Structure 1
Amino acid sequence: MFFIMLIIILAVGFIVQYLFGFVQIKHFTKHYTELREKGRVAIGRRPAIIRSGTLVLFQLNNKNEIEEARYMQGVTVFSRFKQLKGLEGKKMNKLKEEDFTGYNKLLTRAIIDAQHTFNVVQAGGEIERIPSPMMKAVNKVNKMFTKKGVKKHGLHS
């Protein structure tokens, strides 16, 4: 009986998490679309599990100047986008550390990620995927259980 209740509780939790995640993705899409209608958008992200995850959106004009900026920061799916003031009129590729004073460390890292992403795309490169915090944890556990220095041998023909 205990295991059946545990399975039901886990299933309900999974469904609720899925629904809240879906609502948050719709919220992101709404804000991204609003900015995209005005011009190009640079996105920066700083995922986290325990600390606040952070996402920034920069709407850029044809001179690569920031016209509008929004950010979402929080631990739960109830986080919402807010206006990010102080970077309007600055060129995306010329942002400096002095421009980030007054922002918290996680927001600064997301802004730096947006700048990096912008520079890579401008140079014609591809963006590397940032593993989710859960994947980082899984990878660490996998590394603990794999033997270092052991090479996998394939069959040779």
Structure 2
Amino acid sequence: MDNMFVLGIMVVGAFLIQSALGFFQIKHFGNEYNELKAEGRVAIGKRAGKLTSGTIIMFLLDDEGVIVRGKKLQGTTILARFKPYDKFKGKYIGAITAEDSEMIAEIKITRNTVMNAVNNYKMFINGEAIPEKGSPFAELVKKIKNI
């Protein structure tokens, strides 16, 4: 009985620590986004990492859609922080393709995230709704229904 109580306390403690750190990471994202948004339009690309690192990329755009600067958050833990990401500085976001030399030099998850930002920008410019991805459970149910 004592072992189960200690185990329960450890599980609850780990959950509370993870929740607190997750809150701080979301607050960090909000601060970084607000900093960029105060300067102009922002294009965001995201790629969830199920078993690998997840990535979020934010591009600050000028009035013509040219990237002024970027920030990238990439990591497997909630301790990851945004870092400057200026590989595409000066490029028109709508002209970025998967075949660009800057893209080929990136790892796959970063390429996918940049292309997500490009596609989100194009959809926004065309007045289309940007689809929200469901939770992992909802995605699993969707895959099962498609089988």
**Aligning the two structures, in what range does the TM-score lie when normalised by the shorter sequence?**
0.7 to 0.9
Report the identity percentage. 29
Structure 2 unaligned residues grouped into runs of 5+: none
Give 1:135's aligned residue. Answer: 137
User: Whole-Å Cα distance in 2 between the matches of residues 6 and 49 of structure 1?
Assistant: 26
Q: How does 1:11-50 map to 2 (within 5 A)?
A: 11-50=12-51
Q: Deviation of residue 10 (structure 1)?
A: 1.6
Structure 2-normalised TM-score?
A: 0.88
Q: Which residue of 2 aligns with 1:155?
A: none
1:31-61 residue CA offsets vs partner (Å, 9 max, x unmatched): 1111101100000000013200000000000
Moved more, 9-18 or 96-105: 96-105
Distance 1:7 1:136 in 2: 28
> Does the CA contact (< 8 Å) of 1:39 and 1:59 recur in 2?
yes
Query: Which residue of 2 is the match for residue 101 of structure 1?
Result: 104
Please say if residues 49 and 75 of structure 1, whose CA atoms lie closer than 8 Å, have aligned partners that are also in contact: no
| 1:125 Cα deviation from its structure 2 partner | 1.2
Check whether the contact 1:44–1:115 (CA below 8 A) recurs between aligned residues. yes
Q: Tell me how far 1:5 sits from its aligned partner.
A: 2.5
1:125 is paired with a residue whose SS is coil
Tell me the residue number matched to 1:151.
none
Gaps of 5+ in 1: 149-157
The CA RMSD over aligned residues, in Å, is 2.0
- Deviations along 1:130-154, one digit per CA (max 9) or x if unpaired, are 234x4367537x93xx8x7xxxxxx
List, as ranges, runs of 4+ consecutive aligned residues in structure 1 with deviation greater than 2 Å: 2-7, 134-140
Paired positions, count: 143
User: Structure 2 counterpart of 1:83, which letter?
Assistant: P
> In structure 1, what residue type is equivalent to 2:79?
F
The answer (yes or no) to whether the contact 2:37–2:60 under 8 Å persists in 1 is yes
SS in structure 1 opposite 2:83? strand
Cα separation, partners in 2 of 1:131 and 1:48, compared to 1, 3 Å: farther
